[in-house]
Structures are given as structure tokens and as C-alpha cells.
Amino acid sequence: MIIEWLTMQQWSPYLAGAGIGILSWFTFLLSDKGLGCSTSYAKTAGMIESVVTRGKSRDKKYYKEFPPVIDWQWILVIGIIIGAFLSSILSGTFSVGVVPDLFQARFGDDPAVRILFALIGGILMGIGARWARGCTSGHGITGNMQLGTASLVASACFFAGGIAMAFILYAF
């Protein structure tokens, strides 16, 4: 039964949501912190900058609050990547491609255009996550679970921005 469940192409959003909720309990229990990923990207940039500047980046105000080190949240990102890969293998949906079908139907099959869109989107998401002091998992899961006002507002903005961008990119 477990193998059958692991090889499904789609899981029940209710079961997956409950699983994320239980995972959140354990992260609070074991680390006294909530789920969140975006700080890991800033920490990675700090680690790279620290190598280039021979440690001088650690004197920056931001990195004093969020030291550029490998921690459990950084490992969580690695786990997400490995989990997504294993899930695609187990479900039989793994494929290698640069331009997804939906993007190709709207914007063509030029890999450079797709990479440019992805790069710009990633940069904007990173800026937004730092500006909001959290990402969709940090605010959308952990913050909302604690009924944080900033997280409720941020989550509403995530949805509004996503819907608006979908209309801009795909409805016209």
C-alpha cells in the first residue's frame, strides 16, 4: 500500500497538507523554529560572498542576524530537491526538459527565453521573500499556523500576485 501511494502522480492535497502540518509540529519541537526556505538562499549567497571576500561579509548587519552557515533549513532545501527528484522517478513522470509544454504553447520553445523568464522570476521572488521577511513556506505555513498578521497579509499577497501574473502571462 505504501509503495502504491508513493508511486502516485498526484497526492491528495488534504493528506499532503496534514503531513506538512505534522512536519511543522516536529520542526517546532526539535528546533524551536518553523518551516521556511528563503533564508537559505541568502545564506548561500553569504557563504559564496564570504569565500570571495575572505570572511568580510560576516561583518554585514544582515549576516549578523542570519549567519551564512549550513543549518537545518539549508539542508531542508537539499531535501526538497532530492524529494522532488525521487517523487518524479517513483511516479514515472521524470523527464528532462528546459521548456515546459504550457510555457512553450504561450511563448515558444526558445530555451533562452525560458531561462530568462525563470531567472527574472527567481530574482523577483528572492527580493520579495527578503522584503516580506519570509517566503511562501515561512509565511504561508508557519506564520499562518501561528495566526501571524504579517503572514496572513503576505499570503493574501502571494495569491493575488500569482493570480495577476497568471492572467498577465496566460490569459491574453
In a domain, 170, yes or no: no
**Nearest by Cα to 73 from 49, 43, 29:** 43
Distance CA 91, CA 118 (A): 25
In a domain, 130, yes or no: no
In a domain, 83, yes or no: yes
C-alpha cell at 128: 520579495
In a domain, 23, yes or no: yes
pTM of the model: 0.78
Task: Per-residue pLDDT tens, the chain, 172 aa: give them.
Answer: 777 877 888 888 998 889 999 988 898 898 888 888 888 888 898 999 999 988 888 888 988 888 999 988 899 899 999 999 999 999 999 988 899 888 898 889 999 999 999 999 889 888 888 888 888 888 888 898 889 999 999 999 989 988 998 888 777 6
In a domain, 30, yes or no: yes
Structural domains counted in the chain: 1
Which structural domain, as residue segments, surrounds residue 24? 1-96
In a domain, 32, yes or no: yes
